[in-house]
Amino acid sequence: MVFVSKTSQREFHRLYGNEYASSNVIYIPTRLGAKEGEGCPVDGISRPFLLTVGSIGDRKNQACCIEAFAASGLAEKGWQYVIVGGGEPGASTAVELAKQTPGVVLPGYTSDDELRWLYRNASGFVLMSLLEGFGMPVIEAIEHDLPCLVSSSSILTEIGGEAMLDADPLDRKFIVTGMRSLAGMSGEERSRRISQAHTHLCKFAREPILASWRELIERIG
């Protein structure tokens, strides 16, 4: 068996035991070309803003994040909260909340150029997901030098490493604190966290990951 993270591996064995011939973790490599190309501004969005990328719905927990943004007082200070993605089950709740909450913008799907512009111009990245397969948007946020706020004790903290700010995704007050921390982060702390995160990204370099697959296939071939 091959898992994409230690988190998923650990949870599988907790549920189903350890009586298997093999159990390996091989991460997903970073997406090629994520940073390459021009950026294209998105209508209705201006700096400063926090960014969330991913399907919108109950699983991704955007409704709780919108409530946290409203409680944070950041909109009154000129901040926006931009949530990018298409809908999945539970999306209607988040969409209705967004309509009622000043500063929240849901542009829907974006082109790659628009997404690059959002990553390049955001001041921080938020992903309070309740269930995540891997968390590629966190890697892309790190590649664009964004400090991140992610769900505690999840695959996202494993993917992001110690540089992540984290919060209980079910407790709004902790998300509020995290959003305020992103918005008020000093230049020195920002640089330190980004440097830590980039060092952690070495785990997701393509060639070592492909080499791990080759080694596994040769071993079982």
Q: Are residues 14 and 103 in the same domain?
A: no
Q: Are residues 17 and 87 in the same domain?
A: no
Q: Are residues 76 and 160 in the same domain?
A: yes
Q: Is the pLDDT of residue 32 over 60?
A: no
With contact defined as beta carbons under 8 Å apart, do 59 and 131 qualify? Answer: yes
**Residue 42: inside a domain, yes or no?**
no
Q: What is the DSSP letter of 56?
A: B
Which segment of 22-36, 40-54, 167-181 scores lowest on mean pLDDT?
22-36
Q: Are residues 96 and 67 in the same domain?
A: yes
- For the chain, what is the domain count? 2
What's the domain range around 22?
Answer: 1-29+205-221
**Residue 35: inside a domain, yes or no?**
no
Q: Are residues 178 and 219 in the same domain?
A: no
Beta-carbon contacts of 39 under 8 Å, excluding residues fewer than 6 positions away, are: 113, 114, 116, 117, 120, 121
Query: Domain holding 57: CATH number?
Result: 3.40.50.2000
Angle of CA points 53, 12, 14, to nearest 5°: 125
**Segment 174-217, tens digit of pLDDT:** 999 999 999 999 999 999 999 999 998 888 888 989 999 999 88
For the chain, give the percent of residues with pLDDT over 90: 74
End-to-end CA distance of the chain: give it in Å, rounded: 14
**Segment 45-82, tens digit of pLDDT:** 999 999 999 999 999 999 999 999 999 999 999 999 99
Strand-pairing partners, residue 56, are 87
Residue 2: its H or E element = strand 2-3
Angle of CA points 193, 59, 70, to nearest 5°: 65
**Residue 92: inside a domain, yes or no?**
yes
Beta-carbon contacts of 108 under 8 Å, excluding residues fewer than 6 positions away, are: 84, 85, 86
Q: Are residues 98 and 178 in the same domain?
A: yes
The pLDDT, as a whole number, for residue 135 is 82
* Average pLDDT over the chain, rounded to an integer: 92
**Segment 136-161, tens digit of pLDDT:** 899 999 999 999 999 997 889 888 88
Give the mean pLDDT of 80-98.
96
Q: Are residues 185 and 158 in the same domain?
A: yes
Q: Is the pLDDT of residue 164 over 90?
A: yes
Angle between helices 136-143 and 187-200 (to 10 degrees): 120
At 34, the pLDDT band (50, 70, 90 cuts) reads low
**Residue 44: inside a domain, yes or no?**
no
The pLDDT, as a whole number, for residue 75 is 98
**Residue 182: inside a domain, yes or no?**
yes
Q: Are residues 110 and 212 in the same domain?
A: no
CA distance readout (Å), 168 to 50, 81, 131, 139, 192: 18, 19, 13, 20, 23
Q: Is the pLDDT of residue 37 over 80?
A: no
Q: Is the pLDDT of residue 125 over 60?
A: yes
Q: Is the pLDDT of residue 33 over 80?
A: no
Which segment of 31-35, 89-93, 162-166 scores lowest on mean pLDDT?
31-35
